[in-house]
Amino acid sequence: MYLAHSTNAEFIYVSNGTSYSPGWRRAYNTKNKPTAADVGALPLSGGALTGGLTAAGEIISKSANGLRIVYGNYGFFIRNDGSSTYFMLTDSGNSLGTYNRLRPLIINNANGAVTIGNGLNVTGGINGSLNGNASTATKLQTARKISGVAFDGSSDITLKASHVGAFALGQTGSRVANDKAVGWNWNSGVYNANIGGASTLILHFNMNAGSCPAVQFRVNYKNGGIFYRSARDGYGFEADWSEFYTTTRKPSAGDVGAYTQAECNSRFITGIRLGGLSSVQTWKWSRLV
């Protein structure tokens, strides 16, 4: 074995028989330290690991971009610009390059709010409290009906009283031609009908069941009479309007089977006291021809 040295370097020549290759070998010391490559280590300045890495503590990156995954055509990495943290993607074919315009996920560093920038598909359930409005949704995925009126979310709908089984607050439909024009099986409501030179109000009730499926009330202006008519089974209105008697529209003598005042005056003696006397003297009269 031989020793040789120069400035900050020492060499050893070793010869140990035919089975050992002789030659000069450099000796390491405090002045001549081995490199990371000399001992199969990763330099502090960075490099590439050919195997996995397991850390018992945190792996800390002081760069805005960190923890990049490169596989296939794309690169993925996490970026923290000081105010927000992003999941970033590269363009296809540039897996080691900078991020593209997509922002799949953004976390506000101050309040933790999460923004999903390019859509979200959920295959399982979502539990929690949801607030706010969908900003881009224009239609329901599956259209529905509300009280029989189609609704897909793209526009407002108008429900009528008939849709919910109620009376309209105002006139039902358009004015009809006469007081018999409202059919027995029409929707319940308040109808306006022409009658002479005026109009009349017809209050129509239809339940479309039973022996009397519908009834109507007709009211004229200025207490001018209240009339009614009722339907039978599926035959409709077989009888004409019947009038209610009121204090302002009393029945006539003929309506109740009585004589009128004029008839009474022409057929009976008037102005003669009966009773209190034993007899009453009358006179004879002859009919003039």
Burial profile 195-213: b = 16 or more Cβ within 10 angstroms, e = fewer: beeebbebbbebeeeeeeb
Here the tokens at position 29 are 């010391």
Give the strands of the sheet with 74-80, arranged side by side: 65-71, 74-80, 84-89, 105-108, 114-116
Q: Looking at residue 39, what is its pLDDT?
A: 86
Confidence of residue 42 (pLDDT cuts 50, 70, 90): confident
Average pLDDT over residues 34-55: 86
Q: Looking at residue 169, what is its pLDDT?
A: 82
Is the Cα torsion angle 129, 135, 137, 138 positive or negative in sign?
Answer: positive
Strand stretches in the chain, DSSP E? 2-6, 9-14, 23-27, 65-71, 74-80, 84-89, 105-108, 114-116, 144-146, 149-151, 189-195, 198-206, 214-219, 226-230, 242-243
Confidence of residue 89 (pLDDT cuts 50, 70, 90): very high
**Residue matched to tokens 């009126």:** 149
Predicted confidence (pLDDT) at residue 91 exceeds the cutoff of 90? yes
CA distance 271 to 220: 42
> Domain boundaries in the chain?
1-37, 65-116, 164-243
Q: Looking at residue 164, what is its pLDDT?
A: 85
CA distance 109 to 187: 62
Predicted confidence (pLDDT) at residue 271 exceeds the cutoff of 80? no
Confidence of residue 47 (pLDDT cuts 50, 70, 90): confident
Q: Looking at residue 88, what is its pLDDT?
A: 97
For 78-87, 138-147, 276-285, which range has the lowest pLDDT when averaged over its residues? 276-285
Predicted confidence (pLDDT) at residue 132 exceeds the cutoff of 80? no
Residue 200 CA, distance from chain mean position = 42
Average pLDDT over residues 120-148: 84
Q: Looking at residue 49, what is its pLDDT?
A: 84
Which is more confidently placed, 7 or 146? Answer: 146
- pLDDT 10s digits, 162-203: 788 787 788 988 999 999 999 999 989 999 999 989 999 999
pLDDT, averaged across the chain: 86
- Give the three-state DSSP class for 232: strand
Q: Looking at residue 222, what is its pLDDT?
A: 95
Q: Looking at residue 282, what is its pLDDT?
A: 56
- pLDDT 10s digits, 224-267: 999 999 999 999 999 999 999 999 999 998 889 998 888 877 76
Q: Looking at residue 1, what is its pLDDT?
A: 54
Say which amino acid occupies 128. G
Are the C-beta atoms of residues 151 and 157 closer than 8 Å to each other? yes
Q: What percent of the chain has pLDDT over 70?
A: 84
Predicted confidence (pLDDT) at residue 53 exceeds the cutoff of 70? yes
Are the C-beta atoms of residues 71 and 77 closer than 8 Å to each other? no
Which is more confidently placed, 22 or 29? Answer: 29
